[in-house]
Chain A
Amino acid sequence: MTHGIDLEITGLTKRYGNATALDGVDLHIAAGEFMTLLGPSGSGKTTTLNIVAGFVEPDAGTVRLGDELLIGVPTYRREIGVVFQHYALFPHMRVAANVGFPLRQRHLPKAEIARKVGEILEIVGLSDLANRYPRELSGGQQQRVALARALVFGPKLLLLDEPLGALDKRLREGLQLEIKRIHRELGVTFVFVTHDQDEALVMSDRIAVFNDGRIEQVAAAHELYQKPSSLFAAQFLGDSNVFEGAVGGSGIDVTILADGLTLKAPVAAGAHGGRVALVIRPEKMRIDPHGHAVGSDSNALVGTITDVVYMGSRSRLLVATDDGRSIMADRMVPSTEFAIDDKVVVSWSAEDATVVDGGMPTTGLGK
């Protein structure tokens, strides 16, 4: 059951003076989809949202919602719900009046307004607070009121601009699941802006990674994590070990030469000679005592453990290799087998590495 509508963005470009906020962004969002726009601040995700909402006019490009072209249509005629980071509730109206506001603009009969407001407050779980003023509510409650207000008039598209950014961690996690539930129940198309990678992974059907006014990659969360298409996408989403180098060798044994190292990796045919980066997630790294034999389809480096970080469900070992690199390797069980200063072999299977086009990303390295 889908009440959503599809959104098609093509060639969206926006400049502020000499700064380019958006540089030819194309994105198609399917009806009923939960799409997250993820990226560091200044990457263009919020500008994209503001253009879709009609708050900002693009210099070039089009926005189409279903069959309707939105460029030049004022915000108040777009029928798009928007949820803001700082709630933007009307301070002089009670909760019920805030939620009823869009219905009053549409001149619905009073009884129907009351009924619809009651229904949506039920969905967000705030029926008891209808007579409160916004200032009498907690941040989480205020954001749920804002969500109800943006959905009550039945928009087919809902835009959420870092709606959980002002809330503390526990509240944020609760609301993430609640927003997902509301998305499932209503089937409205959701476009969610965040700079929080974990939030993006938890909530989205698909994620569009923004960098420097462009989209680096659009993919489902697991695909984005396992098969990033660029170094930026790999580093922004999750932690990774990176080896930069060039493709060398030939035939099946294609290798990557990274400052003196020769590593096996799954390189596409014809990529010979190009600058690339090899990305391996920490959980794909094996750690064995020094002298342990490694299979022929694996790469191995010898080093010394410099730190063991306990992270709850897993441990992260930091290894300084003998040729001066730093490697992160995660072990799922809290590990007591290894201690600082142990000599170890770090290895990974060639197929667990992802090869992306090389060069360092220009902005916003992931944490």
Chain B
Amino acid sequence: MAKSLRPARLALHVYGVLVGLFLLLPTLVVVPLSFTGRRSLAFPPIGFSTQWYRNFFTDPDWFNSAVFSLKIALLVTVFATTLGTLAAVALTLGRARWKAAARGLLIAPMIVPGVITAIGIFYVFLRLGLTQNLWGFVFAHSVLAIPIVVVTVSASLSSFDRQLLRASASLGAGPLASLIQVMLPIIAPGVLSGALFAFLTSFDEAIVSLFLAGPFSRTLPIQIYQSVTAEIDPTIAAASTMLLGITTLCVVAAALVLARRDRRYS
């Protein structure tokens, strides 16, 4: 049986690899470019040097924007993970009638086109004085990251055995003690992967950031965008490569965490 299917399977594998390459290659082009020996972004790259990475860490424009992005992303991770997890718990365990509506509202930022969200946030934040400001970025990115945490944590709660909460209550644990000692440890992998995705959402967010950015408040994606339009400097490729690396790391880490959970309680 399996043998007669071989040509078909081989064709499928080849097709899969081709699709993968089609999706990945344009992105991966930045990796060799970042090691170019020339001052231009010519492909294929000529020579080899790490000067563009050195430049990234010494040029204040690049380095400051990276630090700024990192600060925002870490704060967003804390806010979005806390609020998103609590929201997911309430939406899953609560008995309120407006649960479905509340879930819809919380997930909305994932569905509404980014530009529209960005314009909305821009006008409101302009009045509140939250543009060109660290906290403006943190709040705006949190709005975008919370839905992702809600979705990840909800998924992990859907397989959570609620009888455990009845058990812990019967054993004398109040609601808070049950949440901390029983529920959170069990859904921790879901919360952790939610946190990683929240970090990512903020770290590579570009549309809203474009509206909120100012000369002294640029996130890394904005710095990349602006230097592409202004100058063609291979530092862009170095920055992009590092952004790609961090992103990939987060996604792989989240996948590993979730896979571990699946093994753990089965």
Q: Which residues of A come within 8 Å of B, CB atoms?
A: 53-55, 74-82, 84, 86, 88-92, 101-102, 105-106, 135, 149-150, 153
Inside 8 A of A135's CB, which chain B residues have their CB?
Answer: 265-266
| Cα separation A78 to B177 with both chains bound (whole Å) | 16
Q: Does B55 contact A (CB under 8 A)?
A: no
Inside 8 A of A77's CB, which chain B residues have their CB?
Answer: 172
Q: Does B167 contact A (CB under 8 A)?
A: yes
Closest Cβ of chain B to A279, distance in Å, is: 39
CB–CB B168/A91 < 8 A:
no
- Tell me which of A76, A86, A102 contacts B163 (CB under 8 A): A86
Closest Cβ of chain B to A136, distance in Å, is: 12
Number of interface residues of B (CB under 8 A): 20
- Enumerate the 4 nearest inter-chain pairs by beta-carbon distance, A residue then B residue, closest first: A88-B167, A102-B171, A75-B169, A82-B170
Closest Cβ of chain A to B171, distance in Å, is: 4
Closest Cβ of chain B to A289, distance in Å, is: 58
Closest Cβ of chain A to B103, distance in Å, is: 24
- Tell me which of A54, A90, A149, A150 contacts B169 (CB under 8 A): A54
Interface contacts beyond A76-B174, A102-B171, A105-B177: sample of 5 additional A-B pairs, CB < 8 Å, sorted by A: A53-B166, A55-B166, A76-B169, A91-B264, A101-B171
Do A101 and B166 contact each other (CB < 8 Å), given the known contacts A88-B161, A91-B186, A135-B265?
Answer: no
Residues of B144-193 contacting chain A, CB below 8 A: 161, 163-164, 166-174, 177, 181-182, 185-186
| Cα separation A75 to B174 with both chains bound (whole Å) | 9
CB–CB B186/A92 < 8 A:
yes
Inside 8 A of A78's CB, which chain B residues have their CB?
Answer: 170
CB–CB A150/B170 < 8 A:
yes
CB–CB A105/B265 < 8 A:
no
Q: Which residues of B come within 8 Å of A, CB atoms?
A: 161, 163-164, 166-174, 177, 181-182, 185-186, 264-266
- Tell me which of B169, B172, B186 contacts A106 (CB under 8 A): B172
Do A81 and B170 contact each other (CB < 8 Å), given the known contacts A88-B164, A90-B164, A90-B182?
Answer: yes
CB–CB A76/B166 < 8 A:
no
- In the complex, which residue of chain A has the Cβ closest to the Cβ of B266? A135
Describe B's contact surface by its main secondary structure.
helix
Inside 8 A of A92's CB, which chain B residues have their CB?
Answer: 185-186
- In the complex, which residue of chain A has the Cβ closest to the Cβ of B163? A88
| Cα separation A82 to B165 with both chains bound (whole Å) | 12
CB–CB B167/A84 < 8 A:
yes
| Cα separation A102 to B161 with both chains bound (whole Å) | 19
Closest Cβ of chain B to A151, distance in Å, is: 11
Closest Cβ of chain B to A148, distance in Å, is: 12
- Tell me which of A54, A82, A153 contacts B167 (CB under 8 A): A82
Do A105 and B182 contact each other (CB < 8 Å), given the known contacts A55-B166, A88-B161?
Answer: no
CB–CB A53/B170 < 8 A:
yes
Closest Cβ of chain B to A104, distance in Å, is: 8
Do A84 and B163 contact each other (CB < 8 Å), given the known contacts A91-B186, A92-B185, A135-B265?
Answer: yes
Do A150 and B265 contact each other (CB < 8 Å), given the known contacts A75-B166, A84-B163, A84-B166?
Answer: no
Inside 8 A of A54's CB, which chain B residues have their CB?
Answer: 169-170
- In the complex, which residue of chain A has the Cβ closest to the Cβ of B167? A88
CB–CB B170/A101 < 8 A:
no
Closest Cβ of chain A to B115, distance in Å, is: 44
CB–CB B169/A74 < 8 A:
yes
| Cα separation A74 to B173 with both chains bound (whole Å) | 10
